[in-house]
Amino acid sequence: MDFLKMMKQAKQMQEQMGSLQEQIADIEVEGTSGGGLVAVRLNGKGEMKGVTIDPSLLKEEEGEILEDLIMAAHTDAKVKVDQTLQEKTQELMGGLGLPAGMKLPF
């Protein structure tokens, strides 16, 4: 591969990375637990955007269960964010001829 072609690909990758970062900000996923009793929404950066709790869990004696369900829903949403980012990155990098498995900073 010649140097000019490498520079052109680097510039193209830089432009695409800017586009990907904008797309990441727009991603929103929902993780659930307890059969849908608790839902957590995260954006592509992993920031929590909302929590929904079924009213049946809002009892004093259900506090510990509720805490566990919120944690589980957050974990579910985070896994979905990571999967979505991986898919978008693979789409972006597919045509650039980079080594498989190359990690990019976000």
Q: Write out residues in the chain with pLDDT < 70, as ranges.
A: 1, 95-106
Domain-located, residue 70? yes
- Provide the pLDDT for residue 75: 94
Q: What does the longest C-alpha to C-alpha distance in the chain come to? A: 68
Domain-located, residue 103? no
Structural domain count of the chain: 1
CATH of the domain at 72: 3.30.1310.10
pTM of the model: 0.64
- Provide the pLDDT for residue 7: 83
Query: 48 in helix, strand or coil?
Result: strand
Query: 37 in helix, strand or coil?
Result: coil
Q: How many residues does the chain have?
A: 106
- Provide the pLDDT for residue 14: 80
Element containing residue 43 per DSSP (H, E):
strand 38-43
Domain-located, residue 24? no
- Provide the pLDDT for residue 13: 79
Element containing residue 89 per DSSP (H, E):
helix 63-93
